Structure 1
Amino acid sequence: MKKPSCGRRAPVSQRPRRTGRHVLTIVTTGACLMSPVMAQADDATIDTLTVTATSLYDNIGYTRRTTGAGTRMNLAPKEIPQTVSIMTEQRLKDQNLETIEDALMNTTGISVRRIDSDRVQFFARGFNINSYQYDGIPTLNTDGRWYFGEGALNTAIYDRIEVVRGANGLMTGAGNPGASVNFVRKHADSRELTGSVSGTLGSWDKQRGVVDVTTPLTESGDVRARFIGGYEDRDSYLDRYGSRKNFGYGIIDADVTENTTVSVGYDYQNTHNSSPTWGGFPLWYSDGGRTDYTRSFSPAPDWSRYEFESEKVFAGLEHHFANNWQLRGNVTHEKTNMDGKLAYLSGFPDRTTGQGVSVFPGWNRGERKVDSVDAYANGPFELMGRQHELVFGGSYSKQSNDYEGRYDPVTNTYPSGGDTGNFNDWNGSLSQPDWAGFAPSESASTQQKSVYTAARLSLADPVTLIVGARYTDWTGRSWANGTGNDRQSQSEVTPYGGLIYDINDTWSAFASYTEIFQPQDYLDFGGSYLEPIVGKNYETGVKAAWYDGLVNASFSVFRIEQDNVGEVAGQLLSGGRNYYSAAQGVVSKGFDAEVTGAVTDNLDMTAGFTHYTATDDEGAFSTGQPRTQANLFASYRVPQWEALTVGGGFNWQSHIFERDVPGPQGDEKVEQGSYTLVNLFGRYAFTKDLALQVNVRNLFDKKYYSYLDGYGVYGEPMNITSTLTYSF
């Protein structure tokens, strides 16, 4: 560890890792202050002064001491009356979680459904996650019918990922009751030159390089810059599939005054995928028998491609007042483009001849723009002789989506692709259709204006009440070829209430209640939009923090009551569009548990377990998601050989099934049994600056379906990556 120079604080990369008490920086500072005296009085006797203090740095291995998730107040996890999981930078590194999909797949209570080679959906407590925030700004509600590559975005630019399970209407406004996800970006937090360079080689010819550099722009370090960039080129376990990615991230942080910091940044990510799939492979032969393709089998033609480009410009302001109040503001502009030339295969091949599979090609482009701003103030106040905390703020977000396709504007259909011939000999060789010119197919825009407030009231020494509300004015417009122009508007007050009882210094009990609403873009059979989702969310449980917040744990029981939840009811023959019905009386109830943190000086661990049941007025709801999940991951620094760190874990999920899946002999039920994926990792530090890390995923090469509703998609086989990192 380098010794910080006098008059400067040690950069984050040089701070102690995770011990409960730290003295190094204080002692060093004291030595700097005393050095002039010592120089003038060599013979003087100086008394020894020992000072200890709790670390102020929140990133502690796999956990954090404080977070603003859920309330905007900087609270310890056990002070928040909801379940919160935080994916820290250290855990992202140890598990080699390079994408958003990787990170959320390993987060307690979240299940992942891979629709095809690129599209991915995330679920929590039976509901699709479509609410995302960047630095706390509610910027994006995704449209399940159109995909812009969100799951493939790189995690290298994020300090942490915060997941609040259950309804989070206070912070998101309109949103989904399953969970909300907040991506917190990295900052230029070092006043000295520091950084790292890494290179990765892996299965399927994977090559990846990432550089992360922070440097002061002024001698004092009051103005600092950070750049993170990377490139990746790889093939896949799928035949013909390949992916190229590059990304760049830059941010400047400037301490304008002692109490004011201004930040401005830019985030660019680009992905080009060759021979991606659109859907998957047939689940049945024409005689009703189940297919059993190899995991390398790809239904994609060799001319298909999928491209995504994302640009985000953002700025932030943080000011601390003398009375311990603070003001924060963030603004962002995002533009994302999608271009997909794909082919969907449908039908049931003959077991012998391979005949019977048809091709439906589609070429679509889309552009999504998002403009968002959020500002809030929070701080303490006194009332009736007790100390309380208040937060109030407002946000504005506007999102527009425009799509066009190369289809016949008269018949509103894509060009015919014919059939594949003998599908048993399929190798992706297929002639492209005669594409028509691009024509507008659909556009949509939403606007959300909100004001919110919350108060943390100390009712008694062991009892704290958090109450708040958000007023949201939501407006949406949409146009689709053949359905006309529709406008929706919705104004809602979303209440929030939570009670926390401190049992002792370690344990607390909590209970919370909130309401939720979510406008929907699903159309019914007649082409009208479904009514917004409405409902209530209840949660109660206990939390604990040991070793001054180095280890955090939670256990909660929840119940979500929802109405008007959109479910696929069928598909129109004209245009192939799904139509939806509104499910009433949807109830999701269950429990989850998580413990994470530095169990010892050498052992970091995270373990989670979740179980729920979900029903509607017709029976089981969202059966394609596992009812029970368990995850464990740990890293252990070998005391006898401190250069070596080893670890691993597993992800287990219960069986899933889909009912009424169209088959060659009528609707059938398809199932995926429970399965376990085992992962290992090891890291060896040749020097304090140079380390080699090896990660193994799906160690036992488990073969499983990641999607099986109408067609099948296999999960990823066993694979290995090796990463060499040099830090400076």
Structure 2
Amino acid sequence: MSLNRRETRAEARACGIRKIFTVSLLAMAVHALLNPMLAHAAETSTATAPGDDQQDMVVYANDNDTAADEKQDYQVKTTRAGTKLLLTPRDVPQSVSVVTQQRMQDQQLQTVTDVLNNTTGITSNLVDSERSEYYSRGFKITNFTFDGIPTSVGDAWNYGDAASDTAIYERIEVVRGATGLMTGAGSPSASVNMVRKHADSKSFTGSVSASYGSWDKQRYVADVSAPLNDTGSVRGRVVTGYQDGDSWLDRYHKSKKFIYGVVDADITERTTLSLGYDYEDADTGNPTWGGLPVFYSNGSLTHYDRSLNSSADWANYHTNARKAYADLVHNFDNGWSFHVNGTHAENTFSDKLLYVMDYPDQSTGEGVTGYGSMDRGKRELTSVDSYASGPFSLLGRQHQLMAGISYNRQHNATSSQDGITDPDNYNIAASDMGAFNNSWNGNIAEPQWQGWYTNADDVIRQKSAYTAARFSLADPLSLIVGARYTQWSTNGSSGDMEKNNITPYAGLVYDINDTWSAYASYTSIFQPQTYRDSAGSYLSPVTGKSYETGLKSAWLDGRLTATVAVFRIEQDNVGTEENGVYVNNSSEQAYYATKGARSKGAEFELNGALTDNLQLTFGATRYVARDKDGRYNPDQPQTDLKLFTRYQLPGLPDLVIGGGINWQNRVFEDVSAPDGSTQRVYQGSYPLANLFARYQVTRQVAVQANVNNLFDRTYYTYMNNYVYGEPRNYSVSMSYQF
């Protein structure tokens, strides 16, 4: 039911008052609960007061400083996330979440998908067994970076980057909101940065691990570092693994192998060169494409077993990813550092897939048709990024400056063959599909393939220059301002287009005391689009803007942080079909730019060490996103809570226990029904609980057990077609440290 304008304004005012009141209560509650607990630690902490010592501090550091952090921590002390300036998380005027190696080990987060599903403010759709989409604050995430190098992600590639194995990463950083200063083109949702491991040990060290779990899932990983010369100035590291297993889906089987190698060489005392290469290959038998029908032919909702696999027995899927990179860092005596990073990456995929369509009879299962597709594609990415950062003096105060340039070229090429048995309807006929019910086993004949055609063959280029400065305006007050100039172009099957854009960035941070800071920021981003209007002109890029304000805190010398944020995101110039209108009277559909979506809400995150024995991450998000048609992306929860903890028992120091829970509110999707109408399908709120325990048997040997979805909740990860989430499952692992 729609509200009239007066009711909408009243609701907005009430909503704003409730948000401000809620945020204030959260801030006061956190301060009241945690300050007494941390009072003694704060007295002995090395954290500086909000005076000259803090604001004028010169940071002599590089990106690998976090490797020296406490290995068991869930937080890092410094990061370049958001601005590329080396800052503490408290000094970044945006919401930043960091998932460390220890957190990934405790919760057995083995892919980037696992990490994002357990990150504050991130929600997802598991579209089928192989593809996933991620959202932040109501908007789809398209910005994935590797060591700060951006990758343009489209629908055909939304599974490739998030499927990466986390064994090769030191940590994963998520900056929520628009991130145009860092990534150039993209959406105003969030940016996900994957930070690779380095060879930072001058002695022989490493670990091997093996695990076994539900559905015969086996996993073996080795991570070994060693000096390559007598002095340790040249070091090497290799991370390799193999994984094989089935699924809760019948007939599904997946195996993957990966290897990552890096050499770090200290050319001089202040210059380090890193050369790295990673390779990952995965094969899947009987993968799904899409999900299960939502409606029976009589209009009632379907209820299938979670184990039902809609794949045909001839379906398969193969992906391969290869990346090589070189990174040079030089640290000058005056605190400045210079970075050059060059990357070349190639991703390929090939598949044969079956998509199940139409509506089965509730009694017999007859009536569904299918669509076969054979696909292949390749993405090539070549990037060079160079920047310098460091302190400078102005008007008697110490400040920081960062400036850089980057070049990014990406070639995307995909092609397909259609598979049919019914030429009249261009699908796989219902008579060939048979009865689609819980006994369906995918035993159907492979369709007739109709020949290869090109889906896309495009080259996207980005040339950018960017800069940011952090000015110490007063002892407790700092201002971060920056901008990125981007020349964006594409040519190929989707058309030729060029767009230039200046992306501004501004943030203000005020230190209330030695624990709390208040901040406000404005950021933006843009996304060119290849839609054209009726006159043949390309539409202006989709633009995104983020406004955010809140409070941040840090205790125990930065080992524990908290953020309370209120935000608003705007997205405009979204291309919309103009019904019955075509470009220059051709067959090309014409589009027009419309006002897009608005999202506003609040977030809270507490992350790090409450005590030396207790680590936790707790995140809470509430937002409202709307466009001209009502709720925006209604299949994404607008309220979600995520908690995970680890506790080392004081009386049993060799035993660590922990667990957590993820909860989200009700969502819905508008789905086409058999009678041609559009029906709204709901999924109620649900929690997912997880547990883990690890016991240090000897100094080198540890065993660990994990249980996911402890209460075996049944839920959907996608609702346009039903895709079930994983049932209760377990894993046990053993590791050896040397």
TM-score, normalization by structure 2: 0.87
**CA 1:541 to 1:413, structure 2 compared with 1: closer, same or farther past 3 Å?**
farther
- Residue type at the aligned position of 2:196: R
Contact 1:148 1:338 in 2 (8 A): no
The alpha-carbon deviation at position 489 of structure 1 amounts to 1.3
The alpha-carbon deviation at position 437 of structure 1 amounts to 4.0
List per-residue Cα deviations over 1:524-574 (Å, max 9, x = no partner): 99999754211321100000001111100101100011112357999xxxx
Contact 1:406 1:414 in 2 (8 A): no
- In structure 1, the residue matched to 2:465 is 451
1:421 matched to 2:413? The reply is no
Alignment of 1:446-485 (within 5 A): 446-479=460-493
1:85 matched to 2:97? The reply is yes
**CA 1:176 to 1:585, structure 2 compared with 1: closer, same or farther past 3 Å?**
closer
Alignment of 1:204-283 (within 5 A): 204-283=215-294
- Residue type at the aligned position of 2:401: L
The alpha-carbon deviation at position 423 of structure 1 amounts to 1.5
The alpha-carbon deviation at position 112 of structure 1 amounts to 1.2
- Residue type at the aligned position of 1:552: T
Distance 1:414 1:688 in 2: 66
List per-residue Cα deviations over 1:78-114 (Å, max 9, x = no partner): 1111010000000000000000100010000000110
- In structure 2, the residue matched to 1:649 is 660
Alignment of 1:179-194 (within 5 A): 179-194=190-205
Contact 2:463 2:486 in 1 (8 A): yes
Structure 2 residues not aligned, in runs of 5+: 1-40, 47-64, 580-587
Question: Among residues 49, 68, 79, which one is paired with 1:57 in the alignment?
Answer: 68
Distance 2:207 2:665 in 1: 40
- Residue type at the aligned position of 1:423: F
- In structure 1, the residue matched to 2:456 is 442
List per-residue Cα deviations over 1:401-454 (Å, max 9, x = no partner): 111222499x99996422212223421111001224434332122100000011
Alignment of 1:314-713 (within 5 A): 314-407=325-418, 416-419=427-430, 420-424=433-437, 425-479=439-493, 486-520=495-529, 531-565=540-574, 583-664=594-675, 666-709=677-720, 711-713=721-723
- In structure 2, the residue matched to 1:28 is none
**CA 1:246 to 1:380, structure 2 compared with 1: closer, same or farther past 3 Å?**
same
Paired residue secondary structure (1:94): helix
Contact 1:416 1:433 in 2 (8 A): no
Distance 1:579 1:307 in 2: 36
**CA 1:233 to 1:304, structure 2 compared with 1: closer, same or farther past 3 Å?**
same
- Residue type at the aligned position of 1:264: L
- In structure 2, the residue matched to 1:14 is none
The alpha-carbon deviation at position 400 of structure 1 amounts to 0.6
Output the aligned Cα RMSD: 2.7
**CA 1:412 to 1:431, structure 2 compared with 1: closer, same or farther past 3 Å?**
closer
- Residue type at the aligned position of 1:612: Y
Paired residue secondary structure (2:231): coil
Contact 2:373 2:419 in 1 (8 A): no
Which one is further off, 356-365 or 434-443?
434-443
1:107 matched to 2:119? The reply is yes
Distance 2:394 2:372 in 1: 66
Distance 2:67 2:480 in 1: 25
The count of corresponding residues between Structure 1 and Structure 2 is 668
Contact 2:369 2:427 in 1 (8 A): no
**CA 1:499 to 1:401, structure 2 compared with 1: closer, same or farther past 3 Å?**
same
Question: Among residues 115, 125, 129, which one is paired with 2:137 in the alignment?
Answer: 125
- Residue type at the aligned position of 1:673: G
Paired residue secondary structure (2:441): coil
1:718 matched to 2:728? The reply is yes
- In structure 2, the residue matched to 1:149 is 160
The alpha-carbon deviation at position 149 of structure 1 amounts to 2.8
Distance 2:205 2:394 in 1: 46
Contact 1:463 1:502 in 2 (8 A): yes
- Residue type at the aligned position of 2:510: Y
Contact 1:415 1:435 in 2 (8 A): no
Distance 1:632 1:235 in 2: 28
Paired residue secondary structure (1:636): strand
Distance 2:248 2:666 in 1: 24
- In structure 1, the residue matched to 2:15 is none
Contact 1:362 1:414 in 2 (8 A): no
The alpha-carbon deviation at position 615 of structure 1 amounts to 0.9
The alpha-carbon deviation at position 688 of structure 1 amounts to 1.2
Contact 2:133 2:159 in 1 (8 A): no
The alpha-carbon deviation at position 609 of structure 1 amounts to 0.3
- Residue type at the aligned position of 2:734: L
Contact 1:646 1:681 in 2 (8 A): yes
Paired residue secondary structure (1:156): helix
Paired residue secondary structure (1:150): coil
- In structure 2, the residue matched to 1:287 is 298
Contact 1:148 1:337 in 2 (8 A): no
Contact 1:349 1:355 in 2 (8 A): yes
List per-residue Cα deviations over 1:448-503 (Å, max 9, x = no partner): 00000111000000100000110000001231xxxxx5112110100100000000
**CA 1:527 to 1:90, structure 2 compared with 1: closer, same or farther past 3 Å?**
farther
Report which of the two has the higher share of helix. Answer: 2
**CA 1:722 to 1:660, structure 2 compared with 1: closer, same or farther past 3 Å?**
closer
Which one is further off, 84-93 or 144-153?
144-153
**CA 1:172 to 1:96, structure 2 compared with 1: closer, same or farther past 3 Å?**
same
List per-residue Cα deviations over 1:32-90 (Å, max 9, x = no partner): xxxxxxxxxxxxxxxxxxxxxx9993356100111110111111111111010000000
Identity among equivalent positions (%) equals 49
Paired residue secondary structure (1:151): coil
Distance 1:412 1:476 in 2: 36
Paired residue secondary structure (2:496): strand
**CA 1:412 to 1:539, structure 2 compared with 1: closer, same or farther past 3 Å?**
farther
- In structure 2, the residue matched to 1:38 is none
- In structure 2, the residue matched to 1:68 is 80
- Residue type at the aligned position of 2:646: S
- Residue type at the aligned position of 1:466: I
**CA 1:326 to 1:147, structure 2 compared with 1: closer, same or farther past 3 Å?**
closer
Structure 1 residues not aligned, in runs of 5+: 1-18, 24-53, 480-484, 571-576
Distance 1:657 1:535 in 2: 25
**CA 1:412 to 1:256, structure 2 compared with 1: closer, same or farther past 3 Å?**
farther
**CA 1:22 to 1:594, structure 2 compared with 1: closer, same or farther past 3 Å?**
closer
The alpha-carbon deviation at position 618 of structure 1 amounts to 2.2
**CA 1:275 to 1:210, structure 2 compared with 1: closer, same or farther past 3 Å?**
same
Distance 1:112 1:526 in 2: 38
Contact 2:291 2:722 in 1 (8 A): yes
The alpha-carbon deviation at position 678 of structure 1 amounts to 0.1
The alpha-carbon deviation at position 585 of structure 1 amounts to 4.0
Which one is further off, 322-331 or 653-662?
653-662
Contact 2:178 2:523 in 1 (8 A): yes
Contact 1:148 1:308 in 2 (8 A): no
